[in-house]
Amino acid sequence: MNTQVCIIGAGPAGLLLGHLLRAEGIECVVLERQTGDYVLGRIRAGVLETITVDLMERLGLDGRMKEEGLWHDGFNLADGERLIRIDMADLVGSRVMVYGQTEITRDLMDACEERDLEVIYEAQDVTLHDVEGDAPYVTYSKDGAEYRIDCRMIAGCDGFYGPSRQAIPASVGKEYERVYPFGWLGILADVPPCNHELIYANHERGFALASMRSTTRSRYYIDVPLTEKIEDWPDERVWDELAVRLGAEAAESMVRGPSIEKSIAPLRSYVFAPMRHGSLMLCGDAAHIVPPTGAKGLNLAASDVHYAAEALTALFKHADNDAVVRYSDKALARVWKSERFSWSLTNLMHRFPEDGPFERAMQVAELDYIANSRAAQTSIAENYVGLKV
Ligand code: APR
Ligand code: PHB
């Protein structure tokens, strides 16, 4: 098979890029290792920045999101005593959309046939070849047969563990990494949220987050040591811990219910640079990971894909290779700022095992500063709704 762009991975990054390219009349094929149902089974964050909402709008795939999603004008930081409300609408004239990432992926998947975006699921042994030159190709196997896709460009949208980043020689790339000494235990339940907006809490027993998927489905998290086993956390224990960490007011309105999903995820900050090598461009989790504090993962994938689609459009429609050459610098400038925000919100809202009284005093001072400074709140709001692309 011959195509212009071979996209590896049908997560939100790969599907979004595929649709943006098809909208420009660019030929592409998406290769995905898993089945579509498996991809939809992954539970991820659900807060969309302006860039993500705009891309869905531009594609005309925003119908269900606009109907079922919830616009949030603000969110809250809780410091054990008070709720500090960050009023994004008032501070920066913008807001976020609460709509599950699974739903975005489903909307993108459902539109593939109609938009003529070919996705090959259950593609095994996907391997990238000759990425350094102008005629790369990708091989894979499916149902016992071997296939080869010749293309001009490869988009590596295959997440943190995919083969694309590995195809860049270690001598060319540099890794930046921070691993955090705790994980987030998440619980999803069909109960109304305890607050109409999100609450991120820093309590002496640890971090907690009250989030939601809809007015009838809640998503909550607490941080736990990485040594914890999910079997040791029956639902009641999670609810009890949430009630303490989120504070009396939230606890009072919190409705408990059986978990639909419950798991522990590690937290990591990671950046791989450069994000392009030869004819290979990396987008989304393939190039970077953020801790979930601030919900930047999907949104960062969306901004990468926006820059990548722009560059590939310039290449294929105007024979202009400059944007491809500049892609990495452009994408990384925004990636680093989102990395910084996610890292700083993680540092502010979690109790680290190595912290002493000084570090704790710094958190108290910073939260008090934020509570009393419009300038500090504006900076947080500006980052939370998403920096301009
Ligand atoms: N061959 C083909 N596909 C692969 C391979 C492979 N060897 N390895 C991984 N993939 C697929 C995965 O199965 C997955 O569907 O690549 C896809 C990558 O999707 P995500 O991990 O969701 O990454 P991305 O699309 O960059 O998403 C960015 O959304 O899913 C979240 O946590 C993620 O918040 C981040 C954002
Ligand atoms: C979620 O709803 O899953 C969520 C929301 C905000 C975050 C992280 C996760 O910062």
> What is the per-residue pLDDT across 334-377, written as a single tens digit (0 to 9) for each?
999 999 999 999 999 999 999 999 999 999 999 999 999 999 99
Average pLDDT of the residues in 195-216: 97
Q: How far apart are CA 329 and CA 153, in angstroms?
A: 18
Task: Work out the mean pLDDT of the chain and round it to a whole number.
Answer: 97
- Whether residue 186 is contained in a domain is answered as no
Question: Cβ(293) to ligand 2 under 6 A?
Answer: yes
Question: Cβ(223) to ligand 1 under 6 A?
Answer: no
- Whether residue 128 is contained in a domain is answered as yes
- Whether residue 43 is contained in a domain is answered as yes
Question: Cβ(346) to ligand 2 under 6 A?
Answer: no
Ligand 2 closest atom vs CA 213:
2
Average pLDDT of the residues in 112-130: 98
Residue 64 CB burial class (10 angstroms; 0-12, 13-18, ≥19): middle
265-292 pLDDT tens trace: 999 999 999 999 999 999 999 999 999 9
Q: Which residue has the CA at smallest separation from atom 7 of ligand 1?
A: 162
- Whether residue 191 is contained in a domain is answered as no
Question: Cβ(206) to ligand 1 under 6 A?
Answer: no
Domain of 286: which CATH number? 3.50.50.60
In the chain, what is the greatest distance between 2 CA atoms, to the nearest angstrom?
64
Q: Which domain holds residue 14?
A: 5-47+100-176+268-346
Question: pTM for the full model?
Answer: 0.97
Question: Cβ(297) to ligand 1 under 6 A?
Answer: yes
Ligand number, closest to the Cα atom of 98: 2
Residues 6 or more apart whose CB falls under 8 angstroms from that of 288 comprise: 270, 271, 272, 300, 335, 339
Residue 115 has pLDDT above 80, yes or no: yes
Tell me if residue 136 is catalytic.
no
- Expressed in angstroms and rounded, the spacing between residue 245 Cα and the centre of ligand 2 is 16
What's phi and psi for 243, nearest 5 deg?
Answer: -60, -40
- Whether residue 307 is contained in a domain is answered as yes
How far, CA to CA in Å, does 302 sit from each of 305, 326, 389? 5, 17, 10
Under the banding of pLDDT at 50, 70 and 90, the label for residue 42 is: confident
Mutate to test the pocket of ligand 1, among 48, 271, 285, 303 (most ligand atoms within 8 A of CB): 285
Tell me if residue 296 is catalytic.
yes
Under the banding of pLDDT at 50, 70 and 90, the label for residue 80 is: confident
SS3 299: helix
The alpha carbon of residue 310 and the mean position of all alpha carbons in its chain are separated, in whole angstroms, by 20
- Whether residue 76 is contained in a domain is answered as no
- Whether residue 257 is contained in a domain is answered as no
Q: How far apart are CA 210 and CA 252, in angstroms?
A: 13
Count of structural domains, the chain: 1
Residue 78: both structure tokens together: 């809780």
- Expressed in angstroms and rounded, the spacing between residue 380 Cα and the centre of ligand 2 is 16
Write down the catalytic residue from 203, 296, 306, 330: 296
Long-range own/partner contacts, residues 104-107 (CB < 8 A, 24 or more apart): 104/12, 104/48, 104/52, 104/56, 104/65, 104/298, 105/11, 105/12, 105/15, 105/39, 105/40, 106/40, 107/56, 107/61, 107/64, 107/65
The alpha carbon of residue 229 and the mean position of all alpha carbons in its chain are separated, in whole angstroms, by 25
- Whether residue 309 is contained in a domain is answered as yes
